[in-house]
Amino acid sequence: MKSPFNVTSYTDKLIRDQQAATGADALILDPSVRSSHPTGGVVDSFNIRGFPINEGNNGEFAFEGLYGIAPTYRIFTDYVERIEVLKGPSAALSGIAPNGGVGGVINVVPKRAEEDLTRLTASYGSTARFGGHWDVARRYGDGREWGVRASGSLRDGDTPIDRQSETTGVGSLALDYQGERYRSWLYLIAQTDRFDAPSRPFLMAPGLQVPKAPDARLNVTQPWEWSRINDQSVLWRNEYDVSDRVTLFADVGGSRTNVERFFGLPTITSASGNTTSTPQFFGLSIDRHTYDGGVRARFDTGFVHHAVAVQASVYHDELYRRLTNGSPVASNIYSPTVAPTQFANEIPGRPRLSDSQLTGLSIADTLSVLDERVLLTLGVRRQGIEVNNYVSNVGTPLNSYDKSATTPVAGLVVRPLENVSLYANYIEGLSRGDIAPTQSGVSNSGEVLSPYIAKQYEAGIKVDFGRVATTFSAFEISKASGELSAGRFAATAETQVRGLEFNVFGELMPDVRVLGGISLLDGTLTKTAVAANVGNTPIGVPNVQANLGAEWDLPWMRGLTLNGAVIYTGRQFVDSANKQPIPDWTRLDLGARYTTTINGKNTIFRANIQNVTGESYWSSVASFGTFYLGAPRTYLLSMTVDM
């Protein structure tokens, strides 16, 4: 209620009740967010307010507000206490996103020891995927100042998608010390994600209409195509109270990702659904490091209260990659074929592909008066961007990048009543500029463009009715991008998205709870070198996204709760010319849970069905025009016992 931004948090309890295994599963009920990668795929990527997030190899999930810590491609919910979604650009708040995303920030708040806990879960997912989960927490010491929490899971088996199987292993450990003035947290995460025949997005050949979506269980990925991704992450956080009003903080952490995969990206080449794909061995190593530190202080100047934060940060990443190609494979989305087995042609060594360093220095002050009935936040961040790129598969220097930019933030909250907040903000996002491609016909090959600055204007109202809370916001985001025009590559393109968002959550009546909302988007290509495309809808931006989830505790059967969700997404385009649309779609999910006591142990049985009606639909579009099938009908069962 005191934040000048639209922020939604999804708690561990909601995630468990949804039986959400990944971050993409957990955010299914946010009307401002849509996944832009297929179910059964190797990446969690998103569109937030019409702009892409986590589309790339640098990883764009924040972990405790810091980039470079969370696993690169997918977040598993075993170690998640809650997932926060801040809608809109946030360069001044959290720094430049590693992949340049400006639509919002997805922040993972990890589990840590609170009360003592021993929780065990057994799970099943159709077709034959079984799992075991554990979550254990303890506090020690005379003042319970020491905490330990360990959680994780093992899952293995066939998924509802033909010929596909997935094996995942997750382990996390959170240690903390809570002293009188000094506090410290250490987080360790290791996860592995292994697919046979992973789902892949599709490309559409130019000049053709997107064909009708096939049965979502069908899979054109060959049974001999595969993916293996391993992640390790660590974060050490520290806080020291110099006084009751001044706190020093310092954080250090990093992550390492190793990727080995052998699969292709299918292109649909005919109206009858024929596809062609060239499998490619992709060996990738990603090393990331993050350091930050600063001070938070509170003081008064007359009747004005100040909450000031000063922070310096450094983010560094290095990517090493080796690519080799297999032979083309033909198939069909309606009748997939099995081609002769190919084997990955692995060549030793991974030449350097790129390295980058993002540095930031920021200061922000939240001024408040009248017992925090009026709050004004002002801040600024100076961001440095250094990037070196190398020749693919060779590792010799190709080009470099050294730019900087300053991004401000201003936010106002007025609370005329204790339960009503009026808010407005102006904030900018920052993305590293493109490098002009090295090819014939480009007069400025290798030139580094200045960072792209995205600008957001937003205003809204938040009302807490006691049992139900609502947020209504209106926003406008505009962002430049590079394109080739008249033989020169320059930042002459611009995308603008205007939107209205309404969110609601809470208890409508005793034993009936709702969560959902609607997002109305008006996306426009305001500038582009192709004159005919000016005024068109940007790739992957629908006009409507709506969600409604509800729970009902049955009054005549204590402990039994029924739940359901309806998810709707409007028409989207896979091309800037708006000649290749995918139709709107609606999905229905249903479920139930039963809470009881067995031998004195709290026990919860959960059953969920995703896509109850078995709809076949194209679900979403990534910013580069790939699109994918929605989830097939999927059954999820679990039993959780608190020991």
Burial of 88 (0-12, 13-18, 19+ CB in 10 A): buried
C-beta separation of 590 from 612 below 8 A: yes
Distances (CA, A) of 615 to 42, 218, 633: 22, 13, 8
> Each residue of 551-592: pLDDT tens digit?
999 999 999 999 999 999 999 999 999 999 999 999 999 999
Q: Mean pLDDT across the stretch 377-406?
A: 91
> Each residue of 597-610: pLDDT tens digit?
999 999 999 999 99
Q: 11-25 burial by CB neighbour count: b if 16+ within 10 A, else e?
A: ebebbbbbbbbbbbb
- Residue 55: count of CB within 10 angstroms of its CB: 21
- Residue 221: count of CB within 10 angstroms of its CB: 29
Copy the structure tokens of residue 110.
């990890």
Q: How many residues does the chain have?
A: 643
Assess whether pLDDT exceeds 90 at residue 166. yes
C-beta separation of 157 from 128 below 8 A: yes
Copy the structure tokens of residue 210.
């997107």
- Mean of pLDDT over the chain: 95
C-beta separation of 151 from 191 below 8 A: no
State residue 95's pLDDT score: 87
> Each residue of 73-122: pLDDT tens digit?
999 999 999 999 999 998 888 889 998 899 999 999 999 999 999 999 99
Nearest-angstrom CA–CA distance, 435 and 500? 34
Copy the structure tokens of residue 137.
């927490």
Nearest-angstrom CA–CA distance, 139 and 410? 41
Assess whether pLDDT exceeds 80 at residue 340. yes
Q: Mean pLDDT across the stretch 621-634?
A: 93
Distance of CA 497 to the CA centre of its chain: 19
C-beta separation of 98 from 317 below 8 A: yes
State residue 254's pLDDT score: 98
State residue 408's pLDDT score: 94
Q: Pairing mode, if any, of strands 104-110 and 62-63?
A: parallel
Identify the DSSP state of 23.
H
State residue 446's pLDDT score: 75
Nearest-angstrom CA–CA distance, 157 and 128? 5
Please state whether the peptide bond connecting residue 127 to the residue before it is cis, i.e. omega within 30 degrees of 0: yes
C-beta separation of 319 from 357 below 8 A: no
Q: Mean pLDDT across the stretch 209-226?
A: 97
Q: Mean pLDDT across the stretch 249-278?
A: 97
SS3 of 508, please? strand
Nearest-angstrom CA–CA distance, 123 and 154? 10
Partner residues linked to 132 by β-bridges: 122, 154
Q: What share of the chain is helix, strand, coil (3-state, %, to 5)?
A: 5, 60, 35
> Each residue of 444-498: pLDDT tens digit?
877 778 888 999 999 999 999 999 999 999 999 999 988 888 888 888 999 999 9
Picking from 225, 222, 210, the residue whose alpha carbon sits closest to that of residue 271 is: 210
State residue 399's pLDDT score: 84
Higher model confidence: residue 177 or residue 437?
Answer: 177
> Each residue of 538-551: pLDDT tens digit?
999 999 999 999 99
> Each residue of 32-76: pLDDT tens digit?
999 998 888 999 999 999 999 999 898 999 999 999 999 999 999
- Residue 274: count of CB within 10 angstroms of its CB: 18
Distances (CA, A) of 570 to 443, 477, 520, 542, 589: 40, 20, 10, 5, 18
Distances (CA, A) of 115 to 10, 135, 146, 199, 461: 20, 12, 12, 40, 35
Fold exhibited by the domain 7-339+356-642: Maltoporin; Chain A (2.40.170)
345 pLDDT band, cuts 50/70/90, is confident
Higher model confidence: residue 186 or residue 485?
Answer: 186
Q: Mean pLDDT across the stretch 378-398?
A: 92
